[in-house]
Amino acid sequence: MKLVFTALLMIAVSGPAAGQDEDFHRAKFPDKPEAVYKAADRAIMHRHPKDHWITLRDDDHLQLHFQTKTTLGNVGYRMVLTVKPEGAGSLVQIDAMRIPVKHGLLFGDGKKEIEEALRDLSAELKSQ
């Protein structure tokens, strides 16, 4: 009985924390989608010129496909940044997929890289 109670308590305590973290790949901005899309392009190209590069620009759908550098110490990611209208502002979503590598078992969901890209985008919008 104690084991079941402990298991239920662990689920109840960890459940809200997991739910709060689900949207780390989304952010809302008060700016118009076109302005956010252009700022995202600048943020990716100017803030990380040596280890991020844009592989596809889809101006019609406001999507940027970009990639992060893979090294022995860092997992590289292919990412898609999508800007959509949301009320008077914009919703940005970044989806990440690990780049397959030959050296060892790698893990991660790209959270650090996505959060960094969203911070860079926010900084770029504020600098305008």
Which of 9-18, 21-30, 105-114: highest mean pLDDT? 21-30
Tens-place pLDDT, residues 21-40: 568 999 999 999 999 999 99
Tens-place pLDDT, residues 45-82: 887 778 888 999 999 999 999 998 776 666 688 999 99
DSSP line for the chain: -HHHHHHHHHHHHHHHHHHHTTTTTEEEESS-HHHHHHHHHHHHHHH-TTTEEEEEEETTTTEEEEEE---SSS--EEEEEEEEEETTEEEEEEEEEEPP-SSS-----SHHHHHHHHHHHHHHHHT-
Say how many C-beta atoms besides its own lie within 10 A of residue 103's C-beta: 7
